[in-house]
Chains A and B, each alone.
Chain A
């Protein structure tokens, strides 16, 4: 069983297998590494993408054929190795070697929730565990106020998708030797996955029927656990929103009572210190809601 990936090139749809996609991505990244001007690069890559789409249309037999690594190699043979895109040999080389931009990205490879902490740690050159600890402490001491900042960062800071973005995230210069290193790592990762898949296949063949039964049993247990977690999450959300509603109503009621107290001078309504108690319950529940809601949203 092979996974195919939907790829869009110059507005055209293609089915790629994983290795072909990786190969083409690496090709694009290497070409990009020779240029520094963003708008120039965008224009160039539009042209290159359109041409590659055209070549792939010529190569594939019909629009449903899956593009394999062999197809990409043929395309690269026609287009040329990335270094044939270089214009001025010395200039681009020295520029790319000194280019080290640091930008704030979320790190998809090292994340607890959204990769915000690891992104921040790359940006400031800190250890990620310290950043996480600081986040946690700030979150606790500000009564959840910092969770809102965290969520805002999660929403607005982009995730580092491409290899160049990952370099920018870590403030490493984008040059060929660095790119090669990174690309090799990524290739090995893919190869490992493939190897793992083979290994798992072999392992599965060796397993007896009883083992298979236990596996199925475990799978059922896991899915039950998942279901239970989701159920728990839903209940938590419902409970939290209900209690929030109740507390709002209650506070509104107390506020009204207070008004009545002032205008009608009713001596039976509760004293001010009970009000204080209610407000602090409201705060606690609000903070609790945020603490509960964030993981619950993540579970989904």
Chain B
């Protein structure tokens, strides 16, 4: 078992939650989402993001619209849907539970 692989798996698990949180405030196009995730050191390569975006979109949690760009290809702006917001609330709930559980197990206070 490779440590890098396990780390990547851990990150992948929370990526969808993070993508939805980034989009909860305002609509963004793929490269902006990427730079947020890169700043937070959540992804190392961009390839990880695209299938997740497509999956969230086909599940109805995200919507997108195309916009022309002056220098470069047209940009695809992603925004969160009402269903996506419900899903995000649910994911955040279970993330908090998980965080507490992991905290409790890895740092026992007594």
Contacts and interface: CB of A to CB of B under 8 A. Distances in A.
Interface in B64-110: 71-76
Contact of A51 (B31, B48, B74): B31
A80 B48 CA distance: 8
A10 B76 CA distance: 11
Given A51-B30, A87-B51, A80 B44 contact: yes
Given A10-B73, A47-B76, A53-B72, A35 B47 contact: no
Considering the complex of A and B, which 4 residue pairs feature the smallest CB-CB distances, nearest first?
A80-B45, A80-B47, A10-B73, A84-B47
Contacts of A206: none
Given A47-B30, A53-B73, A87 B52 contact: yes
Nearest to B46: A79
Nearest to A80: B45
A40 B58 contact: yes
A228 to B, nearest CB: 49
A180 interface: no
A48 B74 CA distance: 13
Given A81-B47, A87-B12, 6 more contacts: A39-B58, A40-B58, A44-B51, A53-B73, A85-B48, A85-B51
Nearest to A9: B73
Contact of A78 (B46, B73, B75, B76): B46
A85 B72 contact: no
Interface residues of B, number: 22
B74 A84 contact: no
Interface string A46-74: 11111101100100000000000000000
A43 B58 contact: yes
B36 interface: no
A35 B51 contact: yes
A67 to B, nearest CB: 15
18 contacts: A9-B73, A12-B72, A35-B51, A39-B58, A40-B58, A46-B76, A47-B30, A51-B30, A51-B31, A51-B50, A53-B72, A53-B73, A54-B73, A57-B73, A79-B47, A81-B47, A84-B45, A85-B50
A61 to B, nearest CB: 14
Contacts of A10: 73-74
A82 interface: yes
Nearest to B45: A80
Interface of A: 9-12, 31, 35, 39-40, 43-44, 46-51, 53-54, 57, 77-82, 84-87
Contact of B72 (A31, A47, A54, A77): A54
B71 A81 contact: no
Nearest to A92: B51
A79 B45 contact: yes
Contacts of B50: 44, 47-48, 51, 85
B27 interface: no
A57 B51 contact: no
With most chain B CB atoms within 10 A of its CB, the pick from A44, A47, A77, A85 is: A47
A12 B47 CA distance: 21
A84 B52 CA distance: 11
A9 B74 CA distance: 11
B28 interface: no
A49 B55 CA distance: 17
Contacts of A40: 54-55, 58
With most chain B CB atoms within 10 A of its CB, the pick from A11, A53, A79 is: A79
A50 B76 contact: yes
B37 interface: no
Contact of B47 (A43, A54, A82): A82
Contacts of A48: 47, 50
A290 to B, nearest CB: 48
